[in-house]
Amino acid sequence: MPLCKHMQSDQENRVDEVLYRQVSAASHLQALLLMGDFNHPDICWRDNTAGHRQSRRFLECIDDNFPLQEIEEPTRRGAMLDLVLSNKEGLVGNVKLKGSLGCSDHEMVEFEILRATRRAHSKLTTLDFRTADFDLLRDVLDRVPWDNALEGRGAQEIWLIFKDHLLQAQKPYIPTKRKSGKNTRRSAWMTKEFIDV
């Protein structure tokens, strides 16, 4: 989940603590990216030290939640203020500083978000009614001796017998398909034609 936050230099401690709690809660997500101008010029990223209390608290939060700080060069007047933080190896790549934009005295940071994890393949299968052979299904169900099979039975038992015959008959004549992509949340009967009506 990408998360973008621009930090301002005049933030108060309580606002920082709210941010730290949100970062801590979000850091357990599968993939998290936090980027912005965090305005802590006294942090030495090479030695993992900070001069001010507020910067040390920020550094603790980052150390606890993000194993990777992707920027390796100063982004403003010799200080590394602009950061790209990620919680997964291989989530960010090709980080480059591209000069300043307009009147800004910060370097532009360009990077790629790489696919951090393989997309989970759906194991949800559904009946593919578009390719079903309803004529053969109908023929199979017509051959069932319904009078004998259902005689003297109650409604619940009749339903279970009918359902069993139907499910057995549909296997060879109504193929299944694996649902994937954006259609995994859509019911099988909810076709494009139906939606466009």
What confidence score (pLDDT) does residue 28 get? 74
Yes or no: say if 16 and 46 are a contact pair by the CB < 8 Å rule: no
3-state secondary structure of 33: strand
pLDDT confidence band for 3 (50 / 70 / 90): very low
| Distance in angstroms (rounded) separating the CA atoms of residues 165 and 69 | 61
Average pLDDT over residues 102-120: 74
Question: What pTM was estimated for this model as a whole?
Answer: 0.49
What confidence score (pLDDT) does residue 4 get? 42
Name the H helices within the chain: 13-26, 53-65, 134-142, 146-150, 155-173, 192-196
Name the most confidently modeled range: 68-72, 95-99, 160-164. Answer: 160-164
What confidence score (pLDDT) does residue 5 get? 45
| Distance in angstroms (rounded) separating the CA atoms of residues 96 and 111 | 6
Percent of residues, the chain, with pLDDT higher than 70: 79
